[in-house]
Amino acid sequence: MVTRKHIKVQHFDVSLTWAGRYKKVHYSKFFGLSDPLERFQVLQEARGDGGGTVPPHMYNYLKEMHGWKSDGRFKLMEETQVEHIEWIPANQECASAEVEGARQSRDEGDYWCVKLSTGQVLHVDYIWLATGRALDAEKEPLLGDLLRSRPIPLVHGLPVLHTSLRWCDDWEVYVLGAYAALQLGPDAINLAGARVGSLRVFDAVSSNDVVVRHNDDNGVPAAGATKKSESWVCREEDLNPFSLLTDHCAE
């Protein structure tokens, strides 16, 4: 396991001030900010300098695995960067001088040759990437299409939603999760944020004369009264999120 920085160990992925007894005070101040940019700055401060976190018990487990428990099968290499990666097919010479001779300890089969900043060269079968990514609504396939259809302001990649988490006033599209952070706060990506967000959407839908219609066994919407705006709850196997949204919003 290779990490670019030293693993950040803490109980929560946000500052404890947002999870402790005074969290209501902080959220009250956050929701009192009318400028989305100011809210974004608070989000940055609450979540630290970026990157994921690991709870103490899991970090202790990793250290144990690195030591006597794994018998050398697991290694934890912190503050180490990957400098070069090359795929070496079976029975083929390495094309890169940086890892020339790397096949000496590997007799057969395809593998990855990985050179680290420590100078160590690893031969591995699989590489699992857990690097995360920057939030940018314009680069998300679905949200990018929504932006082109109904442009709304962005603050460092985060959409400026209605307080109900609605995309815009004339569109029955709601956003939850990390992309709703400007309205939900630092907990947007956690269970607490999901709960608060779902309640907001429920309240908005309930107060907007929306008829929720269920599909029958054949996937056809069941009969129901028609009002200005409607939402459908589909079977999971029938759901194509973007086609559903575009078909609905085109009405």
Residue 176 and residue 113 share a domain: no
**Of residues 179, 82, 184, 78, the one with CA closest to residue 134:** 179
**Is residue 249 situated within a structural domain?**
no
Name the percent of the chain lying above pLDDT 70: 71
Residue 123 and residue 176 share a domain: no
CA distances from 40 to 9, 84, 229 (A): 24, 35, 32
**Is residue 232 situated within a structural domain?**
no
Residue 68 and residue 7 share a domain: yes
Number of folded domains that form the chain: 3
**Is residue 250 situated within a structural domain?**
no
Backbone angle region of 68, left / alpha / beta, with phi > 0 → left and psi within -120 to 50 → alpha: alpha
Q: How far apart are CA 141 and CA 161, in angstroms?
A: 18
Helices (H), 129-178: 141-149
Lookup result for tokens 């990018």: 144
- Local structure of residue 54 (DSSP, 8 states): B
Three-state DSSP at 218 gives coil
Give per-residue pLDDT as tens, 85-113.
998 887 665 555 455 444 444 555 788 89
**Is residue 102 situated within a structural domain?**
yes
Type of residue at 41: Q
Lookup result for tokens 């001779």: 101
For the segment 29-39, the average pLDDT, to the nearest whole number, is 94
Backbone angle region of 205, left / alpha / beta, with phi > 0 → left and psi within -120 to 50 → alpha: alpha
**Is residue 226 situated within a structural domain?**
no
Domain span at residue 164 reads 133-213
Q: Where residue 235 falls among pLDDT bands split at 50, 70, 90?
A: very low
Q: What is the pLDDT of residue 51?
A: 63
String of b and e for 80-101 (b: at least 16 CB within 10 Å)? beeeeeeebeeeeeeeeeebee
Q: Are strands 111-116 and 82-88 parallel, antiparallel or unpaired?
A: antiparallel
Give per-residue pLDDT as tens, 38-64.
999 999 888 766 567 888 888 888 888
Residue 74 and residue 1 share a domain: yes
Lookup result for tokens 């009002």: 227
